Amino acid sequence: MCNINAFFKNQPKSFTPDEVQAITGASFVNNPHSEGAFLNKKIVKSLTKINFTKYQEEIKKTPLLVTHERLATTGGINLTNAHPIKINKNYYLAHNGVLSNLGNSLLSDSFVFAKTLKESLKTMEISKAIDNFTSNHHGSYSVIIFNSNGEEAYYFKNESTNINLYRLNDNSFFLTTSNINQNIIYEKILREIELPDKILFRFWYEGKRWKMRSLGKLHFKELTPVTTYSKGWNWKNKNGLYLDNYNDYWNGYSWKNKWRKK
């Protein structure tokens, strides 16, 4: 799968361009199909490794730096499918994972995900749109959504993906979906923050400082265990509802998917 790095900076030198280059370089080796970044209110995308040492001023000034290294699963290898992907004029997203039944040979699952969120945001605020999506779509995901001025972000994941979140000694935050070599930023890390498997965090920039708050676990649909019988390729539960694609997700106690009437 892909990799996301997010740097929530409280000081101009919270992360240097050389450190960003080292962190993303290690990730790009295993995710070589494109790289993109959000820095100082602009998006940069490339089908080759970005040289972040050329962005000295942008990295110094930006309070939020998000990078994404892509390993293509669905969709073509092109800049359209490179992350961050624009949701609407206010938000972008970067996604790590594979979303079930989204995407095709041309457009990635993440691109379709962004368009789905765009429609939801016409009638609901961002955290509700996220919750609506996770309740109705399945697969693996680790996602950061951030606004166009880089002063607000939402991060959410399910148990199929990994995340490491660090608080730095200047109270900045560093979030990465890879198991980073901590020697790269050893002197900067104050402590690692333990996260539950399913979580939604909000980060916001206030008074020139980043703050973080948990919005609680995502509202996955909890369903009754499949203990009755299989009818062809569909499982039926005691309420007379059917479950398609029953291999999507099993947590040891119950299936997680969307039940339907026959």
CATH for 114: 3.60.20.10
53 vs 202: CA distance, rounded Å: 29
Lowest mean pLDDT among 116-120, 143-147, 204-208, 255-259: 255-259
If asked whether residues 111 and 232 sit together in one domain, one would say: no
If asked whether residues 174 and 98 sit together in one domain, one would say: yes
Query: What is the domain extent for residue 88?
Result: 3-214
If asked whether residues 122 and 181 sit together in one domain, one would say: yes
If asked whether residues 127 and 159 sit together in one domain, one would say: yes
What pTM did the predictor assign? 0.81
3-state secondary structure of 24: helix
Instruction: Tell me what the mean pLDDT of segment 50-78 comes to.
Output: 94
If asked whether residues 203 and 238 sit together in one domain, one would say: no
- For position 184, what pLDDT does the model report? 62
Q: In this structure, are residues 242 and 232 in contact, taking their beta carbons and an 8 Å threshold? A: no
Number of domains forming the structure of the chain: 2
Select the more confidently predicted residue: 164 or 233.
Answer: 164
If asked whether residues 168 and 240 sit together in one domain, one would say: no
- For position 32, what pLDDT does the model report? 94
Instruction: Tell me what the mean pLDDT of segment 116-132 comes to.
Output: 92
Show which of 178, 198, 214 is a domain's final residue. 214
If asked whether residues 10 and 123 sit together in one domain, one would say: yes
If asked whether residues 153 and 186 sit together in one domain, one would say: yes
Q: In this structure, are residues 81 and 21 in contact, taking their beta carbons and an 8 Å threshold? A: no
If asked whether residues 200 and 251 sit together in one domain, one would say: no
- For position 228, what pLDDT does the model report? 38
If asked whether residues 147 and 243 sit together in one domain, one would say: no
If asked whether residues 166 and 246 sit together in one domain, one would say: no
- For position 180, what pLDDT does the model report? 64
Structure-block tokens of residue 66: 């998000």
- What confidence tier does 186 reach under pLDDT thresholds 50, 70, 90? low
- The per-residue pLDDT of the chain, averaged, comes to 81
